[in-house]
Amino acid sequence: MGTDSTRTAAPTGKRAERNRQAIVAAAREMFTRDGFEAGMDLIAARAGVSKVTVYNHFGSKEELFTEVIGLAMGEAHATMAQVRTELAGTGDARASLLHTARALVGAATDPSRLALRNLVTGELRRFPELARAYQEHGPSRSAHELGALFGDLCARGQLEIDDTELAVLQFFSLTVYPHLIAGSIGAALPPDLADRLITDGVETFLRRYAA
């Protein structure tokens, strides 16, 4: 995956920023609907700009797709940042973890994010750098944010965690990963089962890490 190093710098200014946002929004819609085969000409038409304008902002389809992935994952991280703020004064570890799990599951099961995640998986052989970009923008940052939240709870004496990396993987496994497995085959967990997965997963986690 590479960009054209000879192209001029990306346009700047208010109009250019509006065009860029329109391009990214159109690309997300087209990639979600048609997969990576979505044409740049269709993306340009959907954004209401010329194809030249698209390439002025993004040197390749891979670069545009990476931007779409990064912004989609950024939405999930903004959710986690909000969760940390909301839980700053909470003294109930169970309530904190339930709130966190539901926020994570909500982000993970967002239809457009699921479609993009599956698209990345389907393009691993052709574009391995897309997978690396997704890992950096998505799972790695999510793990960091969750680890920071666990640190908050430990600092308040609500949890006792020696190995944060392991605890993060365990929490994801108990609450989020089953949704990703179901989503990879175009399915979804029934709401009642999804709720039991969260509540029982949190109870299991607390039996291991509650202070």
Query: pLDDT tens digit string along 122-178?
Result: 777 777 777 777 777 667 778 888 999 999 999 999 999 999 999 999 999 999 999
| CA-closest candidate to residue 39, choices 48, 22, 51, 49 | 51
Report, as an integer, the average pLDDT of 46-75: 87
Residue 76 has pLDDT above 80, yes or no: no
Q: Of 32-41, 65-74, 94-103, give the lowest mean pLDDT range.
A: 65-74
Domain range list for the chain: 8-59, 61-209
So what CATH class is 61-209? mainly alpha
| CA-closest candidate to residue 100, choices 81, 114, 74 | 81
> What fold, for 8-59?
Arc Repressor Mutant, subunit A (1.10.10)
Q: Are 49 and 28 in contact (CB under 8 A)?
A: no
Alpha-carbon Rg for the chain, nearest whole angstrom, is 20
Report, as an integer, the average pLDDT of 37-48: 94
Beta-carbon contacts of 64 under 8 Å, excluding residues fewer than 6 positions away, are 23, 24, 27, 40, 43, 54, 57, 58
Residue 72 has pLDDT above 90, yes or no: no
